[in-house]
């Protein structure tokens, strides 16, 4: 079974819907979803350590806290732990705490009985109950409203919940994985996150390395994304040395997600079978100290236009008509510009050639 409700920040993967009881009030915008087992690419030392840790954590049911910057793969790791562990046959319920409606969050997590509040015209099962015998993944846990943190802690400690408006307690057995890209300890110090809940969640802590600390994984990731994102009818399957050098020179503040988006954008812009540095319009020039651009460097107007088009295409998911509208130009103009940018003019070709005059 898979259930996906992005609007409410809730995903449920695996398990058996029939045995999960009444979920009648969960939004029914169910979309098919791939249950990704593992899928973490990387051969660097930090990735070896991470994979080893995931293996050991999967074999336990202790709470795990995933800490890492945006795009480092926290959700992938949560899935790897769940689907690689003892509970893989049961549900993985993902809750994005930052996307929950504040007035409904309590009922989302704990459920409610009919008549508990205005509009509660039937009982509803909470997500903690849906995750019974499985795993609940609380993404962006730092956003869990303060007023709910004590109730949530009690549920974890006593392994039971009380739906809103009910006097009955329901036994639950859930494995908790929480993730954050914020400094939870600072939240504890600042009084926005309960210390006792932090200790309860932080039993096994897993830190995800930022991509800039494992740049040796970039070629492998690129080849993975080329395989994943290439149009099967297109012949793009490789990348030039020059393009790879540019990817290696950048520090990727948005981590693997940003790299994935850059490859997707390059595939939209590229017309050849090899991605070149010119196709990487959305990738700023190297930001590591060694490669930092001169602050006074003037970027040619054409390059600015290329980047604007590339970023807009990324935003519209490759939809050229919407991109043209957003850019305030006609569709034909956009096509013409795209054609121009994806053809390598002589000066670009020269720039792309290495010192030995070979195309890189």
Ligand X SMILES: Nc1ncnc2c1ncn2[C@@H]1O[C@H](COP(=O)(O)OP(=O)(O)OP(=O)(O)O)[C@@H](O)[C@H]1O
Residues of the shown chain interacting with Mg ion in the complex, contacts defined by CB under 5 A: 74-75
Tell me which residue has its CB nearest to ligand X: 73
Q: Pick out residues in 95-124 that bind ligand X (CB under 6 A).
A: none
> Strand 64-67 vs strand 175-180: parallel, antiparallel, or unpaired?
parallel
Task: Give the C-alpha separation, 11 to 92, whole Å.
Answer: 8
Task: Give the C-alpha separation, 11 to 57, whole Å.
Answer: 22
Among 8, 71, 142, 242, binds ligand X (CB under 6 A): 71
> In the β-sheet with 2-5, what is the strand arrangement from edge to edge?
2-5, 10-13, 92-96, 135-139, 175-180, 64-67, 204-207
Counting contacts by CB under 6 A, is residue 220 touching ligand X? no
In sequence order, the 6+-apart residues with CB closer than 8 A to the CB of 132 are: 20, 90, 172, 173, 174
The answer to whether the CB of 214 falls within 8 A of the CB of 80 is: no
Q: Of the two residues 71 and 111, which places its CB atom closer to ligand X in the complex? A: 71
Q: Smallest distance from the beta carbon of 59 to Mg ion, in angstroms?
A: 24
Task: Give the C-alpha separation, 287 to 284, whole Å.
Answer: 8
Q: Smallest distance from the beta carbon of 150 to ligand X, in angstroms?
A: 26
Question: Helix, strand or coil for residue 176?
Answer: strand
Closest CA to 124 of 7, 242, 3, 23: 23
With CB under 6 A as the contact rule, which of the stretches 11-19, 67-75, 152-160, 328-336 interacts with ligand X?
Answer: 67-75
Among 8, 15, 73, 126, binds ligand X (CB under 6 A): 73
Q: Of the two residues 154 and 257, which places its CB atom closer to ligand X in the complex? A: 257
Q: Smallest distance from the beta carbon of 180 to ligand X, in angstroms?
A: 8
**Per-residue x/- marks for ligand X, 226-265, CB under 6 A?**
------------------------------xx--x-----
Q: Of the two residues 256 and 334, which places its CB atom closer to ligand X in the complex? A: 256
With CB under 6 A as the contact rule, which of the stretches 72-80, 150-158, 169-177, 265-273 interacts with ligand X?
Answer: 72-80
Among 40, 53, 188, 274, binds ligand X (CB under 6 A): 40
Q: Smallest distance from the beta carbon of 35 to ligand X, in angstroms?
A: 13
Task: Give the C-alpha separation, 303 to 243, whole Å.
Answer: 16
Q: Smallest distance from the beta carbon of 183 to Mg ion, in angstroms?
A: 16
Hey, what are 240's tokens? 């030039």
Distance between start and end Cα atoms, the chain: 47
Residues near ligand X, by CB under 6 A: 39-42, 68, 70-76, 181, 224, 256-257, 260
């Amino acid at each position: 079974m898979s259930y996906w409700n992005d609007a409410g920040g809730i995903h449920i993967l695996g398990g058996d819907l029939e045995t999960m009881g009444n979920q009648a009030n969960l939004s029914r915008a169910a979309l098919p979803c791939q249950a990704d087992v593992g899928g973490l690419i990387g051969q660097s030392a930090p990735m070896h350590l991470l994979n080893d840790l995931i293996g050991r954590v999967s074999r336990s049911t202790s709470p795990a806290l995933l800490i890492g910057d945006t795009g480092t793969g926290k959700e992938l790791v949560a899935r790897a732990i769940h689907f690689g562990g003892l509970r893989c046959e049961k549900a993985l319920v993902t809750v994005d705490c930052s996307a929950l409606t504040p007035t409904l969050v309590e009922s989302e997590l704990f459920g409610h009985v009919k008549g508990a509040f205005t509009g509660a015209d039937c009982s509803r099962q909470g997500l903690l109950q849906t995750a019974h015998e499985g795993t609940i993944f609380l993404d962006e846990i730092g956003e869990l409203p303060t007023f709910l943190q004590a109730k949530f802690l009690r549920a974890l400690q006593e392994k039971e919940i009380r739906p809103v408006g009910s006097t009955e307690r329901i036994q639950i057995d859930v494995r908790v994985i929480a993730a954050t890209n914020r400094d939870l300890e600072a939240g504890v110090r600042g009084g926005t996150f309960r210390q006792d809940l932090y200790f309860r969640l932080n039993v096994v802590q897993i830190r995800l390395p930022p991509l800039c600390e494992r740049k040796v994984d970039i070629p492998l990731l690129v080849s993975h994304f080329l395989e994943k994102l290439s149009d099967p009818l297109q012949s793009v399957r490789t990348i030039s040395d020059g393009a790879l050098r540019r990817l290696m020179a950048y520090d990727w503040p948005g981590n693997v997600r940003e790299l994935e988006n850059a490859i997707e954008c390059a595939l939209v812009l590229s017309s050849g079978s090899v991605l070149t540095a010119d196709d990487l319009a959305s990738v700023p020039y190297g930001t590591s100290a060694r490669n930092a651009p001169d602050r006074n460097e003037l970027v040619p107007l054409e390059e600015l236009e290329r980047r604007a088009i590339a970023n807009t295409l990324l935003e519209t998911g490759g939809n050229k008509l919407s991109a043209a509208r957003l850019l305030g130009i006609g569709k034909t103009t956009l096509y013409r510009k795209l054609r121009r940018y994806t053809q390598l003019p002589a000066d670009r070709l020269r720039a792309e050639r290495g010192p030995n005059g070979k195309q890189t």
